[in-house]
Amino acid sequence: MRPNDRRYTETHEWVKLDGDTMLIGITDFAVRELSSGNESDLVYCDLPEPGRSVEAGETFGEIESVKAVSDLNAPVTGEVVDTNVKIEEHLEILAKDPWNDGWMIRIRPANKSLDGLMDAAAYEKFLSSKKH
């Protein structure tokens, strides 16, 4: 089961309320799909500079593996206040811990509403529906 303290998108990003800001990353499912379980398959990640404004659903960066390039989409609207630069240089962090050390950006949200995003149970159900 995925962590219940955050919300999920259909494009496999997660968002977690953290004080006045929100942490955003990608799920273990997204990492597995990109890397086929081989962390060395992740080759590149491009994250935005702090200060950039993003709209919910807008691409804020990309992650690349030897088999695919995937856009990273903002689950909420706000301003990027921090970027986890360690990930850009050490993509294996995502494979080891996409939930904590593997956060990608911190956003100061325009509002704290997470309406329209899935909780962990709904995300699990969404993933199950895609396997058929």
Structure tokens at 45: 């990640």
DSSP-based three-state secondary structure for 70: strand
Please say if the pLDDT value at position 132 is more than 60: no
Q: What angle do CA 110, 120, 109 make, to 5 degrees?
A: 10
**Residues 69-119: tens digit of each pLDDT:** 999 999 999 999 999 999 988 999 998 999 999 999 999 999 999 999 999
- Position 1 scores a pLDDT of 74
**What's the length of the chain?**
132
- Position 37 scores a pLDDT of 72
**Residues 35-55: tens digit of each pLDDT:** 877 778 899 999 999 999 999
DSSP-based three-state secondary structure for 14: strand
Cβ atoms of residues 94 and 33 within 8 Å: no
Provide the CATH number for the domain formed by 11-110 in this structure.
2.40.50.100
Tokens 């695919």 identify what position?
Answer: 68
